[in-house]
Structure 1
Amino acid sequence: MDPPFDEIYKTLLCKQVTNTEKPHEKSEPLSFSITAVEEVELPVIDLSRLIDNEDEEEREKCKEEIAKASREWGFFQVINHGISMEVLQRMRQEQVRVFRQPFDKKKMSEKFSVGSYRWGTPTATCLRQLSWSEAFHVPMTDISPDNNDFTSLSSTMEEFASESESLAQRLAEVLAEKLGRKSNIFKENCGRKTCYLRMNRYPPCPNPSEVYGLMPHTDSDFLTILYQDQVGGLQLIKDCKWIAVKPNPLALIINIGDLFQAWSNDVYKSVEHRVMTNPTVERFSTAYFFCPSHDAVIDCSGDSPIYRSFTFRHFRQQVQDDVQKLGFKVGLPHFLL
C-alpha cells in the first residue's frame, strides 16, 4: 500500500545514516525540532453569524474577524461553515478507501487524469526537500457528473468541492469588501473548471525528526479550505517561529494563498506552513484550492503596488521552473516591483 520511499530515496536516507556516524559531516538538521514547537489553537470564527444572522452589527464583527485573522495569521478556523458533517465524513471514508489500494493500482489509477497521483519529491536532492506523503491532486474537471465513471468517490468529491466553492466565494467576497475592492475577479475567474481538490495521506515515517510529511511552502492560490483528521502535524510560522496547529474536530482550516497576498498588496498574508511526520500513525487531510483561470490577471490594490501584475499561468510556470532548478518554490518575490 505505501509508496516505496525506502527504495527510491535509499541514497538520501543512507547519506543521513552515514552523516550520523560521522559528526563532522552530519547534514544540517531541520530548522526547528518537532519537540520544540508550541501547540496553539488558531482563531476560531463562527460563520453562522455571517450566514444566518440578520443583525448587521454582528455580521460586520464576523467580517472583521475574518479580515483580522487573514492579516495577522494568514490562517484561521471556521465552524458552522455550511458544509455538513455527513459530507465531510463520507469524504474521509472514500479517501481512506482509495489510499488503501495497492501502490501499483494507485499509480496507474484511471479515475483521474495522468499525473494526479503524486508521492514523495521527485526533485529532492537532500532529506530537507523530501516529503513523506502521497496525494491525489485532482482538477475539478476530472470529477464532472458528465464523466462515465462517476463513482461514489467521484460523487462525494464533487459534493465536497461544490460546498467548498460556495464557502470560498463567500470568504473571498468578505476579504475583498474589507479591502474596499470589488470581488468580480472571484465570480468571473474562480469556478468549477479552475479549482483543485487534493486528498493527502501521510504514512508513518521511521525518521520523523529528519523528514517532512510536506516540506515548508506557501499555497499558490487565493484561498485553501482544509479538512484534516485529529492526528495533528500541521505547523505554520507566526512571529518568526513555527507553531503546531491544534486539531479542532468541528472546524475547517482556511489559509490565505499567494494570489490573495499579491491582490491585497500584502495586507493579507500567505504564510509558510509544513506537515511533520508521525512515527506510528498515518494522517489524512483533504484540501480545496480556490484558483482562478490561467489567464486571470492578478494586480495589486492601492496607490503604491508592491507587485507587478501577472497572470496565474505565469505564476504557476515560475513555480514549476524554480522547483526544477532549485528544488523549492520561490513564489511572490519573483514578482516584486
Structure 2
Amino acid sequence: MSESIATVDLSPFFGEGDEDDKKKAKEVISQACSQYGFFQIQNHGVPPELLSRALELSKTFFGFSDDVKLKSSPGSAAPLHTGYSKRPEHSPDKSEYMLMFPPESGFNVYPENPHEFKEVLEDVFTHLANLGSLIESIINECLGLPPNFLKEYNHDRSSDFMAAYHYFPATNGLREH
C-alpha cells in the first residue's frame, strides 16, 4: 500500500489561521518526522510571483552564452565557490548553476544581466531563510526541546547557501522507451 507524503499547511503561521490550525500543522509535522523523516509544505509564505520571477530570470541567465555566464564565475573567498559554475564535461551530472550565500556575506558574485537577477535571488534567499527558521522553531517544539535550542545550536547561518540549477538534456543511456 502506498502512502502519500505528509503535507503541512503553514498558512496559520502567516496570520491565516488560529491557534488550533497551528496545533494541527505541528501535529502533522511531528508525526511525519517521527514516522517518515520528512514532509512537504504548502502555503509557505514565499510569494508565488517571486518564485516565478526567479525561475524566469534563471532561464534567461542560463540561456546566455558561456562567455557571458563565466563573467559571474566564482568568488574564491567563500566556503564554496559562489557565482556561476558548470560541471566538468566528463561528469555524469550535466548541469550548471549559480551559487550564493547569505546576501550580507559579501561572498556572492552576481551577473550583470538579467538586471534584476541579484535583487530577486537575494529576496528569494531571505524568504527561504526565514521559512527555514520558522520550520526549525516548529520542529524544536515538536521534539520537546528547550525553547530556541535548535536556533542557538544553528546560530551561525553564514554557511547557508542556495543554488539555481540548469540541467542539460541527457545524452547518455538509452533513448526514450
Q: 2:51 aligns with which of 85, 88, 97?
A: 88
The aligned residue for residue 245 of structure 1 is none
Determine the C-alpha separation between the residues in 1 that align with 2:23 and 2:97: 38
Could you list the per-position Cα deviations for residues 46-72 of structure 1 after superposition, in whole angstroms to 9, with x for gaps in the alignment? 111343255333311201212322333
2:137 paired residue among 152, 158, 173: 173
SS of the residue 1:65 aligns to:
helix
Whether contact under 8 Å (1:50, 1:62) holds in the other structure is no
Q: Which letter maps to 2:160?
A: C
Structure 1 residue aligned with 2:12:
49
Paired with 1:82 and 1:181, the residues of 2 have a C-alpha distance of 25
What residue number does 1:70 align with? 33
* Among candidates 98, 102, 114, match of residue 136 of structure 1: 98
199-208 or 68-77, which moves further after superposition?
A: 68-77
Structure 2 gaps of 5+ residues are none
1:49·1:58 contact (CA, 8 Å) conserved in 2? yes
Q: Which of 105, 128, 131 is the aligned partner of 1:164?
A: 128
Matched residue, 1:22? none
Q: 1:107 to 1:94 in 2, by over 3 A?
A: same
**2 CA distance for matches of 1:143 and 1:40?**
42
CA distance in 2, matches of 1:152, 1:179: 40
**How far apart are the structure 2 equivalents of 1:196 and 1:55?**
33
Q: How far apart in 1 are the matches of 2:125 and 2:133? A: 12
Q: Specify the alignment match of 2:75 in structure 1.
A: 113
Richer in helix (by share)? 2
Task: Note the C-alpha offset of 1:40.
Answer: 8.1
What one-letter code is carried by the residue in structure 1 that aligns with 2:171? P
- Residue 45 of structure 1 aligns to a residue whose secondary structure is strand
Letter of the structure 2 residue corresponding to residue 120 of structure 1: R
Using a 3 Å threshold, how does the CA distance of structure 1 residues 94 and 40 change in structure 2: closer, same or farther?
Answer: farther
Structure having the higher strand fraction is 1
The DSSP-based 3-state class of the residue aligned with 2:45 is: coil
Deviation string 1:217-236 (CA, Å, 9 cap, x unpaired) is xxxxxxxxxxxxxxxxxxxx
Structure 2 length as normaliser, TM-score?
0.74
The AA in structure 2 aligned to 1:109 is S
Question: What letter is aligned with 2:29?
Answer: I
How far apart, in 2, do the equivalents of 1:118 and 1:40 lie?
38
Q: Which amino acid aligns with 2:51?
A: L
Is residue 2:163 matched to residue 1:198?
yes
Q: Is the 8 A contact 2:87 2:94 kept in 1?
A: yes
Kindly state the Cα deviation for residue 99 of structure 1 after the two structures are TM-superposed.
0.7
Matched to 2:68, the amino acid is K
Q: CA deviation at 1:123?
A: 8.9
Q: 1:179 to 1:185 in 2, by over 3 A?
A: closer
Q: 1:153 aligns with which of 104, 112, 117?
A: 117
* Equivalent residues, number: 163
State which drifts further: 51-60 or 73-82.
51-60
What is the SS of the residue equivalent to 2:39?
strand
Identity of aligned residues (%): 21
Which amino acid is 1:205 matched to?
Answer: A
Who is 1:207 aligned against? 172
Amino acid at match of 2:98: F
RMSD: 3.2
Distance 1:59 1:108 in 2: 46
Residues 55, 139 of structure 1: alpha-carbon distance in 2 compared, 3 angstrom cutoff: closer
